[in-house]
Structure 1
Amino acid sequence: MSISQAVETTGDGSGTEFRRGVASCAPVLFGTIPYALVLGAQAMQKGLSTVELSALTGLNFAGGSEFAAIQLWTSPPHVVLIVAITFLVNSRHLLMGAALAPFLRDLPRRKAFPALFFLCDESWALGLADAKQRAAAGISPAFSPRYYMGAALAMYLTWVAFTTLGAMLGPMLGDVATYGFDMAFPAVFLVLLRGMWKSAATARPWLVSLVVAAFVYLLVPGAWYVAAGALSGLVSAWFFWREEA
């Protein structure tokens, strides 16, 4: 069913919009499950309990920063370093939220704040793409809260459930990298990047982030390449925007 048919038949606030969001997220969910299991297994190998991991994934809900935190986890943990890395990796949400802001402006806070809490790369990409398609089709409002929450909640519940399952199955799975599961995480992000591609010019911050992260990975021990890539991407995006403004 097309966007127009769904809206005309049921209205923007119907359960059909929620189911449409879940359905559109389904292909991404299958790619999420393997690296959710990987994160859970790695967390157990680092000494976290199942309850601690469920709290981490449920309250933070940002896979990239969770992987970085698990990689840096020691006993006792380097809290300042982990917090700094988490902030820098998640700082991309500032740009993601800014991109959604025009579509969320008319929503009451009781709806806007939950939407932002459940914001992740996948739900953001789907929600933004759907809002732009609806706007191009002349559908008002362009942003469908039910569609977005269908995709976001499906992503959230799948992530928390399968990271927890990965923690429970960790001792049985052993080294999950031997199964190739560790490739699922970058594969999903490559698909999302392809969906957001507009031109080589607008992708320049991606290249800066990639080059800086690669150099730091080769030259600096630890996970500082994650922070370096995130920060350099943000700074370069700001400079390129100033050049165009």
Structure 2
Amino acid sequence: MTAPFSAAGFRRGARVGLALSAAIFIYGLAFGLVAAQAGLSWAWALAMSVTVFSGSAQLAALSLIQAGEATLMTLAATVLVMNARYLLFGAAIQPWLSQAGPLRAFSSLLLIGDANWIATMRAAEKGEADRAFLIGTGVPLVGAWLGGTLVGVIFGAVLPDPRAFGADLALPAFAAAMMAAMVRSRAALVPVAVGAAAALAVGPFAGPGWGIVAAGLAGGAVAALTARPGVIR
């Protein structure tokens, strides 16, 4: 039996997405400012935000560009590693979303991000049955991300130093907010501690970028091994 996928569910999701869009706009603005500093035009920055749609991966790719180490292979590898967490996101939401049918499920996954994945998982746990909820949350977030990127890169020349406005803290602040939202027990702190230890061990020798990658891989692996599967109907 196919789960509901209706305009009403889309609207419920869109209201949640709109509530999250201000933070995503600011995050996109920070990326746009950094992209301008790396020498990207507004068209290239916007194209990156459309095709990658991941702040952490895009900022990591920009660090390679600024360091003069960017090749097609290194950029592709960086994006894949930084977005590896979406494998876990997809696995977690699959029992709920797959009941919408393959076409609707895969279309919805194109708009999944950290914020609306958390929001949708919480809604599903509370009984949300309409699978259009996920794509509804995603549409406002995509608009906010692209809008923030465009504004940031256009005004990057006017505001030449993003660090003066704290834009360089956007990624760690967003990651900390995600962690606070997802940690619900002491056991959930174990992957956080493992990830932090991995970052501290790798960062001083390989650089902060690889420290982030190590934290994500180590913390994600521990979370996958220790998670207790829940029931989402």
Which runs of 5 or more structure 1 residues have no equivalent in the other structure? 1-11, 135-141
Q: CA deviation at 1:45?
A: 1.5
Aligned residue pair count? 224
Is 1:112 equivalent to 2:98 in the alignment? no
Which runs of 5 or more structure 2 residues have no equivalent in the other structure? 229-233
1:221-232 to structure 2, matched below 5 A, reads: 221=207, 223-232=209-218
Give yes or no for contact 1:205–1:233 (8 Å, CA) kept in 2.
Answer: yes
Q: CA deviation at 1:73?
A: 1.0
Give yes or no for contact 1:24–1:151 (8 Å, CA) kept in 2.
Answer: yes
Give yes or no for contact 1:37–1:162 (8 Å, CA) kept in 2.
Answer: yes
1:10-25 to structure 2, matched below 5 A, reads: 15-25=7-17
Distance 1:221 1:183 in 2: 17
Is 1:179 equivalent to 2:165 in the alignment? yes
2:50 to 43, 58, 62: 58
Give yes or no for contact 1:92–1:230 (8 Å, CA) kept in 2.
Answer: yes
1:147 to 118, 133, 137: 133
Q: Percent same amino acid at aligned positions?
A: 27
Which TM-score applies when normalising by structure 2? Answer: 0.86
Distance 2:7 2:183 in 1: 31
Pair member with larger Rg: 1
SS of the residue 1:32 aligns to: helix
Give yes or no for contact 1:32–1:188 (8 Å, CA) kept in 2.
Answer: no
Q: CA deviation at 1:61?
A: 0.8
Structure 1 match to 2:74: 81
Distance 1:27 1:173 in 2: 27
Structure 1 match to 2:181: 195
Distance 2:170 2:213 in 1: 21
Which TM-score applies when normalising by structure 1? Answer: 0.82
The letter for the 2-side match of 1:67 is: L
The letter for the 1-side match of 2:132 is: R
Q: CA deviation at 1:49?
A: 1.8
Q: Which contiguous aligned blocks of 4+ residues in structure 1 show a shift greater than 6 angstroms?
A: none
Q: CA deviation at 1:38?
A: 1.4
Deviation track 1:165-207 (CA, whole Å, cap 9, x = no partner) reads 2111110121122112333433333333222222121331121
Give yes or no for contact 2:6–2:130 (8 Å, CA) kept in 1.
Answer: no
Q: CA deviation at 1:238?
A: 4.0
